[in-house]
């Protein structure tokens, strides 16, 4: 969830609180306002809160008697909060608190006075290496006309390099290091990782940036959009007459329950039917990629397509099969299920 974590997401976890053994909230926007929602997780053994905005207030709410490992590195917790936590019955057996608001003198006092093993040393002393947060790519729209400038948000830690590639390869220590905003003049896939010695590399960020050359000259939607759909607990709408959003050069809005009709209509949807669109291109254009953006949201009974097929018209006017991709179904959803998507083409 990164910076998109909200209290409502934590409330969903409370529904399965007895089954949660390990919870990783590190590198997110988790803070004291959400902390009450993790105070009652009776089976929790490992809790990672590294690089979050928590303070001693969160520590005062931790009464998870089975907690074995607590990671607090790069937070604002203090001597007082750690000392109070270490004294309670069922205090965590191991606490990692490197780079917190605890002074060197107070670190010595805490390690001497409390039965919990509190580690304040550098990352070499940890029983496990910490994973860096994924690079945060800043952009407004990944479809552009002439050029686009891309930047990465500053990391919360020092001496972290963001390595990136534009040639479809996976970034590593030998890849270029981000030093200034990147300007793209053509379509490219940007991949990036945060890398620092003695830390685990971050997960890879990956975004396809698409230069708009208006390849399509016309298109026709072959699917029935007459039906109306229930997309939230309080809204029904029809996508009829909404064909133009397929090639409007804009990404669909992120939507969830409570969405407005304006946000929902940045997509198209079909139910229990194939979504078919026929596109006429500029003469002599050769298409290398077709990208389809689909939205899956279980709360709204929407899901990804099971299969995508691409056909090309031959000189006889018939369609020949070109390629396909199957998408594994990981969830069993309700029968009233929507496929909602938008399409982009580029050379």
> Element (H or E) spanning 324, and its range?
strand 319-326
Task: Give the 3-state secondary structure of residue 112.
Answer: helix
pLDDT tens figures, 333-345: 433 344 545 454 4
Please state the domain extents for the chain. 2-125, 137-211, 216-346
Q: Give phi and psi for 169, each to the nearest 5.
A: -85, 160
CA distance 134 to 280: 39
Going by C-alpha positions, the residue among 342, 331, 334, 276 that lies closest to residue 307 is: 276
Which listed CATH number (3.90.1150.10, 3.40.50.2300, 3.80.10.10, 1.20.1250.20) goes with 2-125? Answer: 3.80.10.10
How far from chain centre, in Å, is Cα 241? 32
Query: Using one digit for the tens of pLDDT, what is the confidence trace for 108-118?
Result: 778 776 656 88
Contacts of 272 (CB under 8 A, 6+ apart): 335, 337
Q: Which of 183, 256, 247 is nearest to 220 (CA)?
A: 247
> In angstroms, how far is the first alpha carbon of the chain from the final one?
32
CATH match of 137-211 with 2.60.40: yes
What pLDDT is recorded for position 128?
54
CB 205 within 8 A of CB 135: yes
Per DSSP, the three-state class of 205 is strand
Question: pTM score > 0.85 for this model?
Answer: no
- Run of H or E residues at 84: helix 79-87
Q: What are the backbone dihedrals phi and psi of residue 98, each rounded to the nearest 5 degrees, phi first? A: -70, 140
CB 280 within 8 A of CB 325: no
Q: How far is CA 74 from CA 6, 110, 142, 293, in A?
A: 21, 18, 32, 36
Do 339 and 270 contact (CB within 8 A), yes or no?
A: yes
Task: Report the C-alpha dihedral over residues 163, 164, 168, 170, rounded to 10 degrees.
Answer: 20
- Flag residues of the chain having pLDDT under 70: 64, 113-116, 121-130, 156-157, 216, 231-234, 256-258, 283-287, 289, 298-301, 329-347
| Alpha-carbon torsion, ordered 37, 39, 43, 44, to 10 deg | 90
Supply the pLDDT for residue 305: 83
* Rounded Cα gap, residues 12 and 299, in angstroms: 12
Task: In whole angstroms, give the CA distance from residue 30 to residue 134.
Answer: 16
Residues 295 and 304: their CA atoms lie apart, in Å, by 6
């Amino acid at each position: 969830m990164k910076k998109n974590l909200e209290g409502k997401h934590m409330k969903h976890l409370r529904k399965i609180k007895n089954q949660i053994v390990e919870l990783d909230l590190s590198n997110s926007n988790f803070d004291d306002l959400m902390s009450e929602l993790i105070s009652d997780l009776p089976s929790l053994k490992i809790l990672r809160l590294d690089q979050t905005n928590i303070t001693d207030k969160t520590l005062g709410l931790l009464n998870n008697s089975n907690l074995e490992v607590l990671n607090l590195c790069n937070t604002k917790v203090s001597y007082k909060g750690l000392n109070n936590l270490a004294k309670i019955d069922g205090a965590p057996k191991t606490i990692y608190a490197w780079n917190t608001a605890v002074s060197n003198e107070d670190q010595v006092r805490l390690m001497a006075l409390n039965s919990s093993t509190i580690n304040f040393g550098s990352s070499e002393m940890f029983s496990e290496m910490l994973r860096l947060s994924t690079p945060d790519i800043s952009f407004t729209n990944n479809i552009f006309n002439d050029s686009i400038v891309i930047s990465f948000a500053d990391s919360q830690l020092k001496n972290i390099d963001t390595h990136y590639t534009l040639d479809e390869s996976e970034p590593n220590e030998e890849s270029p290091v981000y030093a200034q905003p990147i300007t793209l003049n053509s379509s490219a896939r940007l991949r990036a990782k945060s890398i620092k010695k003695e830390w685990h590399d971050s997960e890879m960020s990956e975004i396809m940036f698409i230069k708009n050359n208006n390849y399509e000259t016309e298109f026709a939607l072959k699917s029935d959009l007459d039906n109306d759909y229930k997309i939230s607990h309080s809204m029904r709408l029809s996508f009829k007459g909404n064909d133009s959003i397929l090639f409007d050069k804009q990404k669909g809005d992120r939507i969830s329950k409570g969405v407005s009709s304006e946000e929902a209509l940045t997509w198209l949807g079909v139910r229990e039917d194939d979504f078919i669109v026929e596109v006429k291109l500029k003469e002599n254009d050769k298409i290398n990629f077709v990208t389809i953006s689909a939205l899956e949201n279980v709360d709204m009974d929407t899901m990804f397509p099971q299969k995508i097929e691409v056909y090309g018209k031959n000189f006889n006017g018939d369609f020949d099969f070109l390629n396909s991709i199957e998408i594994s179904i990981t969830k069993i959803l309700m029968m009233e299920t929507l496929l909602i998507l938008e399409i982009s083409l580029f050379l």
